[in-house]
Structure 1
Amino acid sequence: MVAFITVVVLVGLMLVGVPVCIAMGITSAGVFAALGNAKILAVMAQRIYNGTTGFTMLAIPFFILAGNLMNTGGITDRIFAFANACVGHWTGGLGQVNIVSSVIFSGMSGAAVADAAGLGVIEMKAMDDAGYDHTFSAGITAASSTIGPVIPPSIPFVVYSSCSGASVAKLFAAGFMPGFMMALAMGIAVYVQSKRKHFPVMPRMPWGERLKAFVRAVPSLLTVVIIVGGIWGGIFTATEAAIVATFYALFLSGVVYKSLTLKSLMHIIYDSIMTSCKTLFIIAIANFLAYFLIHARVPNQIIEGMLSITNNPYILILLIIFILFILGMFMEGTAVILIVTPIFLPIIEAIGMDYLQFGVIMIVASMVGLLTPPVGMSLYAVSSITKVSLIDLSKEVIPYVVGILIVLMLCAYVPAFSLTLPALI
């Protein structure tokens, strides 16, 4: 009964336009009070505060700042030029470049919206200038941005680690293969559409030009080596890696490329603070909602309900994925992770699934949420940049969503898909 009331109140508030984080806070506090547990509201401030004070959470604002520095400091321009030199002549041309650029950028930032809003501007301009269909360009830009949170470093993996206890380094390793498979699936979709719509293909660049593009991009590409290599090598934690990435991006932008002014730096810091505050506020409120759900024994009710339907582990996994899809359509990914992780972990333990595998399933499933209305953040980011309507953009990303779903099924039912690399650490 409590679970039903909570869902009705939460969805009702969101449907009338209340922001997700505010809706979660009102739902938690309101249902608590309505059930006669008003005294427990005394711990509300403490739970909200504790939700964002962990050392691991410090990685989030620094990864956001690093991504913004790269977008403004000329780093993403060099990444795009290098990707163009490598794969611009493939069928799909700049569509394939778009995907490869996002794969490289994902190893530096780990935030989908940073990819869509920053690298997306460069990608859209290049594709428009080359004569690509504007809606197609917007669709692949939105879709490719979802690769970022799967390939390390990844902000969602950091959040999942904080509430599950799973190793951040091993989670990062677990995301590599699914992330690259997402890129492959999107590349195939671009190939098919390019053949059907006869999009332009760029001439193959001479090896001399490719070498020049590589040399120009080397300092930027080293960011990936420093971050991922440092974490896997045990040199520093994910939080320390985020700080190192920030200072390295600042060094490249300000000293090496000399493309950063004091005015632009202040603007970057302001934008990063605002984005970090929004993200951490959602995490803080979601932490209190998760506490409320556990206190009200909602996880037990959900587990009992699911087990009453079936005890087949394969069907249970499918039910969990379905629930993640529904939540992802209405809520930001980090909030979903914080809310459902404590609910589903007992089921995951019961069916013998590894925490790392479940983490990958949850993050890949949340990427579908980034591309589905009404909350899809990547859709909104790209729509605001390109002026393509949300309806047209939602239709355009369907082939890429299908590709992500195929990868998700592989993650869910083929454990080696996400557990092979972590076993080597």
Structure 2
Amino acid sequence: MLILVGSFLALMLVGVPVAVAMAGASLLFILVSGSVPDIVVAQRMIAGIESFPLLAVPFFILAGNLMNIAGITGRIYNFAVALVGWMRGGLGQVNIIGSVIFSGMSGTAIADAAGLGSIEIKAMKDHGYDTEFAVGVTAASATLGPIIPPSLPFVIYGMMANVSIGALFLAGVLPGIFMTLLMMFTVAWFARRNNWGGDVAFHWGRLGGATLEIAIVLAFPMAVWLMTKAGVSPNLAAGIGFVALLALDWKFNFSAVMALMAPVILIGGMTMGWFTPTEAAVAAVIWALFLGLVRYRSMTLRTLAKATFDTVETTASVLFIVTAASIFAWLMTTTQAAQILTDAILSITDNKWVFLLLANLLILFVGCFIDTIAAITILVPILLPIVLKLGIEPIHFGLIITLNLMIGLLHPPLGMVLFVLARISKLSVERTTMAILPWLVPLMGALIAITYIPQITLWLPQQLGMLK
């Protein structure tokens, strides 16, 4: 255990990338101990990505890239301006609402920060907001990406913990709404403190148009449900509803109705059993292609090729982390290192609430140094046995670990969202870090509430029969 863990930490300290550090530590252990054949390294690494749920990873990444190049981010931004731009701190509220909508399509915080962030930060600076405030609210709202379904971290956690990814997706809805309200309240507090007004004039027509678009989107699942109650088959009901919605959108050229439909299609399709969470990722790609090539006609073959190559590059890096983490986690299990760490934690406390406090501190610390996917693959084999032993619902713990790691993305030394926003805003990493610090207050408040009020997470999947 000392060789395995010690060499991993040593490689990390000298600046070796986390995936290479895990693979190198595993290889060093095998060479020194001689207890495991060399071929096992390749076998375990291949086995780590030979999983059907992992197919969702490249498709969700591709969906996020396609949404960006199709100009859907701009439509989402304009819709959010119409809906909340008139409020105090208008563009700050727009920033948050835009992230809520985009998170229902991309599933990653980095895609949110890079896609909407570039639009939002420029707009806020043009309206006279401090760059630091613009960066802070963009960073905080980006954490919603993997909480509101769909979510790449949920896919990885569901695979590692052997729990329903669909239940995890549903479990993220109420925490996502709760976090949204906390962030909007924080923007309102800043606005009141600095005497900010709205950024667009209040106009009943503009607000009514945005409200109408929301009503149309919400009417779609309601109409499908009513038709099924009347004896129409679910597939036919959905087809009729979709054709009617498409005809309305084509006639009136709504700003964002079809973009807003993405989360409805994904969540509704999984709830109705039309596709699995993995297949939902493919549905997200098909929907993005339909919007970009057919409905909005804003996508070209050149931009489509660029999105595809970007997806290949990102997917390769993510899956390399998963393969390296797979052999590392397997060796930690076979050498009893995971069991030793489990026993050490249980020797401190067997109270589940105290354990959750310690787990939060550990995951927050790890999230500052290790990539989200790698952190999940390392921590789940160690912490999940304790979670099960203490009677904590694994779905609930999945939300806790994901939110902790999202907060870690905002911190140096390895916070990816931090570096993305520093590049977009042209601020130094130090100034970007200081800009984000005030936003840790609502994020930590949300983390405490989600940790110690499990029903925020579990109520919706329980009501829909996905949990007992």
* TM-score range for the pair, normalised by the shorter chain length: over 0.9
**Shift in alpha-carbon separation, 1:12–1:194, aligned structure 2, 3 A:** farther
Is the Cα contact below 8 Å between 1:76 and 1:119 reproduced in 2? yes
Counterpart residue number, 1:75: 72
User: Is 1:293 aligned with 2:293?
Assistant: no
TM-score normalised over the length of structure 2? 0.87
User: Is 1:320 aligned with 2:359?
Assistant: yes
Counterpart residue number, 2:44: 47
Aligned match for 2:381, one of 342, 352, 364 = 342
- Give the superposition deviation at 1:269: 0.7
Counterpart residue number, 1:130: 127
Aligned length: 422
Q: Structure 2 counterpart of 1:272, which letter?
A: T
- Give the superposition deviation at 1:362: 0.7
Q: Which consecutive unaligned segments of at least 5 residues does structure 1 have? A: none
Q: Structure 1 counterpart of 2:392, which letter?
A: M
Aligned match for 2:160, one of 158, 163, 169 = 163
- 1:6 and 1:183 map into 2 onto residues whose CA distance is 41
Q: Structure 2 counterpart of 1:81, which letter?
A: N
Is the Cα contact below 8 Å between 1:163 and 1:341 reproduced in 2? yes
Q: Structure 2 counterpart of 1:92, which letter?
A: G
Secondary structure of 1:195 counterpart: helix
Secondary structure of 2:341 counterpart: helix
Secondary structure of 1:330 counterpart: coil
- 1:93 and 1:206 map into 2 onto residues whose CA distance is 14
- 1:324 and 1:191 map into 2 onto residues whose CA distance is 30
User: What do residues 32-77 of structure 1 show as CA deviations (whole Å, max 9, x unaligned)?
Assistant: 322333x333211111112122111011111111111111101111
Secondary structure of 1:281 counterpart: helix
User: Is 1:140 aligned with 2:137?
Assistant: yes
Counterpart residue number, 1:232: 271
Is the Cα contact below 8 Å between 1:147 and 1:179 reproduced in 2? yes
Is the Cα contact below 8 Å between 2:346 and 2:386 reproduced in 1? no
- Give the superposition deviation at 1:12: 2.3
Counterpart residue number, 2:344: 305
User: Is 1:108 aligned with 2:105?
Assistant: yes
Is the Cα contact below 8 Å between 1:66 and 1:249 reproduced in 2? yes
- Give the superposition deviation at 1:405: 1.6
Is the Cα contact below 8 Å between 1:156 and 1:363 reproduced in 2? yes
Is the Cα contact below 8 Å between 2:409 and 2:418 reproduced in 1? yes
- 2:260 and 2:4 map into 1 onto residues whose CA distance is 46
Aligned match for 2:170, one of 170, 173, 188 = 173
Counterpart residue number, 2:297: 258
Q: Structure 2 counterpart of 1:124, which letter?
A: I
- 1:5 and 1:97 map into 2 onto residues whose CA distance is 50
Is the Cα contact below 8 Å between 2:87 and 2:197 reproduced in 1? no
Bigger mean CA offset, 181-190 vs 284-293: 181-190
User: What do residues 311-336 of structure 1 show as CA deviations (whole Å, max 9, x unaligned)?
Assistant: 22221111111111111111011111
Bigger mean CA offset, 97-106 vs 19-28: 19-28
**Residue pairs, 1:22-33, within 5 angstroms:** 22-33=20-31
User: What do residues 181-234 of structure 1 show as CA deviations (whole Å, max 9, x unaligned)?
Assistant: 222222222222222234452234423234555421001111111111111221
User: What do residues 9-28 of structure 1 show as CA deviations (whole Å, max 9, x unaligned)?
Assistant: 22322222211111111112
Is the Cα contact below 8 Å between 2:4 and 2:28 reproduced in 1? no
User: Is 1:391 aligned with 2:430?
Assistant: yes
Alpha-carbon RMSD: 1.5
- 2:117 and 2:422 map into 1 onto residues whose CA distance is 11
Secondary structure of 1:373 counterpart: coil
Secondary structure of 1:51 counterpart: helix
Bigger mean CA offset, 190-199 vs 235-244: 190-199
- 1:408 and 1:35 map into 2 onto residues whose CA distance is 41
User: Is 1:376 aligned with 2:415?
Assistant: yes
- 2:179 and 2:426 map into 1 onto residues whose CA distance is 26
**Residue pairs, 1:184-199, within 5 angstroms:** 184-199=181-196
User: What do residues 277-311 of structure 1 show as CA deviations (whole Å, max 9, x unaligned)?
Assistant: 11111111111111111111111111111122222
Is the Cα contact below 8 Å between 1:51 and 1:283 reproduced in 2? yes
- 1:303 and 1:272 map into 2 onto residues whose CA distance is 37
Q: Report the identity percentage.
A: 43
**Shift in alpha-carbon separation, 1:89–1:328, aligned structure 2, 3 A:** same
TM-score normalised over the length of structure 1? 0.96
Counterpart residue number, 2:262: 223
- 2:323 and 2:175 map into 1 onto residues whose CA distance is 29
Counterpart residue number, 1:60: 57
Secondary structure of 2:275 counterpart: coil
Is the Cα contact below 8 Å between 1:80 and 1:101 reproduced in 2? yes
**Residue pairs, 1:85-104, within 5 angstroms:** 85-104=82-101
- Give the superposition deviation at 1:156: 0.5
Is the Cα contact below 8 Å between 2:90 and 2:200 reproduced in 1? no
Bigger mean CA offset, 185-194 vs 372-381: 185-194
Q: Which has the larger radius of gyration?
A: 2
Is the Cα contact below 8 Å between 1:283 and 1:335 reproduced in 2? yes
- 2:258 and 2:452 map into 1 onto residues whose CA distance is 39
Is the Cα contact below 8 Å between 2:158 and 2:165 reproduced in 1? yes
- 1:30 and 1:103 map into 2 onto residues whose CA distance is 44
